[in-house]
Amino acid sequence: MKISKRSIAAVVAGAVVASMFAVGTPASASSKTITIWADTGAKAVVQNLLQKWGADNGITINLVGKDFGKVRDILKTAVNNGNGPDILAAAPHDWAGNLVNSGVLKPVSLSPAVKKGVTAASLAAFTINSNGSNKLYGAPGWVENTGFFRNIKLAKKAPATWASIKDGEFGVAYGNPYMMYPVQTGFGAPVFKSSNGVWNSTLGMGGANGKAYATFLKTKGTAYFSKNGANLVCDFLLGKIKYFVGGPWDMSKITNGTTGCTKGFKYGKDFVIEAFPNGPKGKSTPFIGVRGYFETKQVDADANGVAVTKLLNFVAGPVAGAYYFNKYSVRPANIAAAKKIANVPFQAGFAKAGAGAMPMPNIPAMDKVWGDWGTIEGNIMSGKSPVTDWQVTIDKIAGTIN
């Protein structure tokens, strides 16, 4: 991203990054220690799970939090210098292509039973064609996607199309292509083209469909997409908007309330999550994201491959899968764990919203898209750029890929 589902990775000054490299967390050489990095948000999610596994198996877990926007760059240098982590935990699957190209990852070794126990889509998300063969570079943990949140007291029926929503009724974190993606796909303008469910590096956002999407952004503007993109949950809880694009990470704030709007909503009584309205080209779909665990080449230096493999098989299993849902309200990649929560109403809502969607591209070209894509969306929507700049930007991005 991934960008984050919450933010696009920041551009960091070289001197600052260099100073962070210098203080990388060294991994222990002991086979009884596994050093794990996770972004600070994900660390809070997986910490209890990993520490308990370590205690149960006589392994010391050295879990270190890192900034989401910087951790990949830090990881590349740290592993090559011999002071990186053995595992990068709860990382977005779309980082796989970039990290494999950087030479810091090892293929993960999951048992046949564990592989069979997770969804094919989550395995595909971490599979990279490396030197002519497809290899698995991550142990899937959980699956997440955005959904369409509707206040059922203010809106008795779901809107059929994006165009049927009136100004002031809807909110989305615009300028963030991840969150805007369901609107864009309804115009038939996917980020890349694909064949048989496999992405290629040819952009799909240009041409007539891309122009139609950009025209929609220009015509509707911030009056439609919400000027208060930073505080959509509160706007939703306070009844200022009827609908918004949100994710599992919003569920706790929605149900329990949050700063500035302390009264929560009850699912099914106050709100529901459902499929997105259609666009002029039909079904609108979000990105499917898979969070998982990368094994780095630091494992060879630390001589703890057996313990790391054991842990990677555990985090893709049913016990860990149940934990992810209970802790973070996300859908486990593990099939058995996912079946147990399939009837949880809000999970069914996210599943409907993500039906037919593809995992976010894990190809290296994806990294070259986010920044300019988000900027032109925001500029057209706010009136800073004309519609014609959409195609200009797409052509510019294509030039950096090719």
What is residue 46's predicted lDDT score, i.e. its pLDDT? 96
Give me the percent of the chain exceeding a pLDDT of 70.
Answer: 91
Q: What CATH class has 147-286+369-401?
A: alpha beta
What topology does CATH give the domain 14-144+288-354? D-Maltodextrin-Binding Protein; domain 2 (3.40.190)
Is the dihedral angle over the CA atoms 317, 323, 326, 329 positive or is it negative?
A: negative
Q: What is the mean pLDDT of the chain?
A: 90
Q: What is the pLDDT of residues 345-388, one digit of tens each?
A: 999 999 999 999 999 999 989 989 999 999 999 999 999 999 99
**Domain spans of the chain, in order of start:** 14-144+288-354, 147-286+369-401
Which of these ranges, 4-8, 205-209, 309-313, 364-368, has the smallest mean pLDDT?
A: 4-8
70/92 Cα distance (integer angstroms):
14
Q: What is the pLDDT of residues 255-301, one digit of tens each?
A: 999 888 989 999 999 999 999 999 999 999 999 999 999 999 999 99
Tell which phi-psi region holds residue 168, choosing left (phi > 0), alpha (psi between -120 and 50) or beta. Answer: left
89/84 Cα distance (integer angstroms):
13
What is residue 228's predicted lDDT score, i.e. its pLDDT? 60
- Write down the residue that tokens 């999407």 correspond to: 213
Q: Are 201 and 363 in contact (CB under 8 A)?
A: yes
Is the dihedral angle over the CA atoms 238, 240, 241, 242 positive or is it negative?
A: positive
